[in-house]
Amino acid sequence: MEISKKLKEYFPDLARSTQLVSEIAKIAKLHSFKKETVLLKDDSFVKVIPLVISGVIKIYKEEENGNEVLLYYIKPGETCIVSVITAEKNEKVHVKGVVEDDVEVILIPKEKLYGLRKNFPDWNLFIFNSFNDKFEEVVDMIKVLTFSNKEKRLYDYLLRKTELNKSKTINKSHQEIAGELGSSREVISRLLKKLEKEKKLKLGHKSITVI
């Protein structure tokens, strides 16, 4: 009953089908994970598909030098499209998924994906729309990383984080931001101080408040 209620509240596209809601409630489980929990390991097989109820999951690619390339975030009402695709193909993932903020998720076993895909058109439409949305996010991120100057790249990143967190304050260290933007801590610190002088943000201890 609890899963059905949460599906109706956070996943209106899935909730259009009462049969689909009943099926997911029957096969899925509700779980909570703390910040920094690794949910998706590089070079591993996917076992479950998450439907996020609250919190945020970060999906990124880790380079050989240790830098992270941010791909997208999974927010409430969304799923991990990489997990769905690799699970359906029974292939290993080559990205990492880490809890950015404490999450509550509905977990669907990968063995149940075929039945959902075969029997429920609303599930297929939800996956198609999820793929489209995340593809656009990845394209936007590529534009930021490739075509923007470093200051604009940083400020755009901060604005996106405030929208994601629904808060003007971002609790991240300069090193963490540098890793996600493929830069160095020194460069990020210098640019943050410049933006602070321009009164676009206020720096605190491991926090940044966008003005």
CATH (domain of 189) = 1.10.10.10
How high is the mean pLDDT of the chain? 89
Q: Of the candidates 110, 145, 180, which is a domain's last residue? A: 145
> pTM, whole model, 2 decimals?
0.74
Q: Indicate whether 100 and 152 sit together in one domain.
A: no
- Answer whether residue 41 shows pLDDT above 80: yes
Distance CA 95, CA 83 (A): 10
Q: Indicate whether 158 and 131 sit together in one domain.
A: no
Q: Whole domain around residue 206: which residue ranges?
A: 148-210
Q: Are the beta carbons of 14 and 126 closer than 8 angstroms?
A: yes
Q: Indicate whether 141 and 173 sit together in one domain.
A: no
Q: Indicate whether 120 and 29 sit together in one domain.
A: yes
Distance CA 80, CA 105 (A): 11
- Please report which residue ranges of the chain form alpha helices under DSSP H: 2-10, 12-15, 18-27, 81-89, 113-119, 121-147, 150-165, 174-181, 185-197
Q: What average pLDDT does the segment 119-127 reach?
A: 96
Q: What average pLDDT does the segment 134-158 reach?
A: 75
Q: 201: closest CA among 210, 192, 193? A: 210
Domain count of the fold of the chain: 2
Locate 38 and state its tokens: 């690794």
33 versus 66: the higher-pLDDT residue is 33
Q: How confident is the model at residue 74 (pLDDT cuts 50, 70, 90)?
A: very high
